[in-house]
Amino acid sequence: MVSCAEAIDRLITVDVSGRGVIGKLYQAARALSSRPLVLTASEGLQRSLSNKKAVFIATGWPDRTAVDLTIAETDGPSGAAVLARTLDRAFGVVPVLLTEEQLVPALSEVVGSAGLKVLACESLLRTWESKGPIHGATVLPFPISVLEAQREAKRLFELYSPGAVIAIEKGGMNESGFIYSCRGEDMTNTTGKADQLVIEARGRGIFTLGIGDGGNEIGMGVIRKEAEEILVHGIGSSVPGGFAPSVPTDALLVAAVSNWGAYGVAACLAVLLHDRGVFHNEGVEQRVLESCSHAGFIDGVTGYVEGSVDGIPIDVHLALVRILESLVKQALGKSRS
C-alpha cells in the first residue's frame, strides 16, 4: 500500500504547468510526515467516515471578481465533485458541498455530472431513510462574513454531524483575517470563510483535510512559513499578516493541480478498501470537466471557458486519470495474488 501511495504522490505532483512551486510545497509537507501525503489523507478519511452519515466539502475560488462575482475557476469544483462521488461510494456518506452563494447553481451542475442527485437540504436528510437507493448531495451557500460563517458552521454541524471536513482549492485567511490570490489580490470580501468550518471541526475533534496547489489555500497553515516564502517570491512583495493562511488542517495534501489531489485520494481509497469502483474513470472525468465548462467556470490561467484546468488541456487530465486507474488495478491485482 505504501509503495502504491508513493507512486500516486509522485504522479499528482508532476509540475506539468511549470509553475515551479509544487516541489517546494510537497517537500515542506512531506518533511512533517513519514508516509505519503495521499495515504495520510485517505486513512484519515477512512477512520473518520466509516460510521458517519455526512461529509462537508468546501470549494470554489471566485476569480476576476472586479469584473463579475460569478467568475470562478475550474480547479476545485471538479475535484470536489469527484470526491463527493468517491466518498458516497466508499462510505455511503452524503456529501454537503459549500461554496459562495452565486456559485451554487454552477457547482450543483458539476456535482450532478459526477452521478449524484443534487437535492435541497431537507430532501437530502430524508435520503437516510429512503427504502430505495438514492445517491444524493446538496450544495449550500457559505457566508463571506466571518461572524455569519461562524454561526452557519455551528448550525450545519448540529444539523448534519459530519465525520470530516475537506477544503479543496479554497482560499484561506491569514493571521489578520485576509485572503489573497496567488497574484497578490485581496479576495477577502468575495470569498466564503470556509476556515470557520475547519475551526469548528477541530474544536469538535473532527478530521479535517486541506487540498491545495499554490500555498494560499486552506490547509497550508500546516506549512505556513514555507508557503509564505513561496508566495512572497512569486508575488514580489509582502503584506501584513502574510499571504499564506494561518489555520491548519489535520492533514494537508498538495498537488500540481488541486483537482489531482482529489483524484489521488480517490485512487488511494480504492486500494485501501479493495474496491475499484470507488475510483472514477476517464468517462466520468470527461463528463465532469465538460460540465465545468457548461456551467461557466473558467480556466484560472487562460481565462477561457473550456475543459482545461490551470492551463493544462483536458486530454492531460484524462491521461492522469487513466494512469491512476492503472495503478489501482495493478495494486488490487497484487493484493489478490
pLDDT in tens, 140-155: 999 999 999 999 999 9
Nearest in space to 76 (alpha carbons), one of 279, 267, 303, 257: 257
Going by pLDDT thresholds of 50, 70 and 90, the confidence category of residue 132 is confident
> Above 60 in pLDDT, residue 216?
yes
Nearest in space to 102 (alpha carbons), one of 216, 172, 190: 190
**CB-count burial class (<10 Å; 0-12, 13-18, 19+) for 276:** middle
Instruction: Report whether CATH 3.90.550.10 matches the domain 2-336.
Output: no
Name the residue ranges covered by the structural domains of the chain: 2-336
The C-alpha cell at 200 is: 469548528
Phi, psi of 299, deg, nearest 5: -70, 120
pLDDT in tens, 261-293: 999 999 999 999 999 999 999 999 999 999 999
pLDDT for position 279: 96
Any idea which residue has 485581496 for its cell?
Answer: 186
Query: Is 203 strand, coil or helix?
Result: helix
Question: What is the model's pTM?
Answer: 0.96
pLDDT in tens, 62-97: 988 889 999 999 999 999 999 999 999 999 999 999
**Separation between Cα atoms, residue 268 and residue 167, nearest integer Å:** 18
> Above 80 in pLDDT, residue 334?
no
Residues in CB range of 257: below 8 A, 6 or more apart: 12, 16, 17, 75, 213, 309, 310, 312, 317
Nearest in space to 144 (alpha carbons), one of 192, 99, 100: 192
The H or E element containing residue 86 is helix 77-91
**Separation between Cα atoms, residue 74 and residue 147, nearest integer Å:** 28
Nearest in space to 88 (alpha carbons), one of 122, 112, 59: 112
Provide the residue type at 18 as one letter: G
Strands 117-118 and 136-141: parallel
Provide the residue type at 151 as one letter: R
Going by pLDDT thresholds of 50, 70 and 90, the confidence category of residue 336 is low
Average pLDDT over residues 168-185: 94
Nearest in space to 52 (alpha carbons), one of 200, 154, 157, 196: 157
Nearest in space to 337 (alpha carbons), one of 273, 288, 274, 283: 274
pLDDT in tens, 22-77: 999 999 999 999 899 999 999 999 999 998 899 999 999 898 888 999 999 999 99
Provide the residue type at 99 as one letter: T
Any idea which residue has 468575495 for its cell?
Answer: 190
DSSP, res 219: B
The H or E element containing residue 151 is helix 146-160
**Separation between Cα atoms, residue 96 and residue 279, nearest integer Å:** 19
The C-alpha cell at 167 is: 477544503
Query: Is 71 strand, coil or helix?
Result: coil
Q: Which of 178-187, 250-259, 326-335 has the lowest mean pLDDT?
A: 326-335
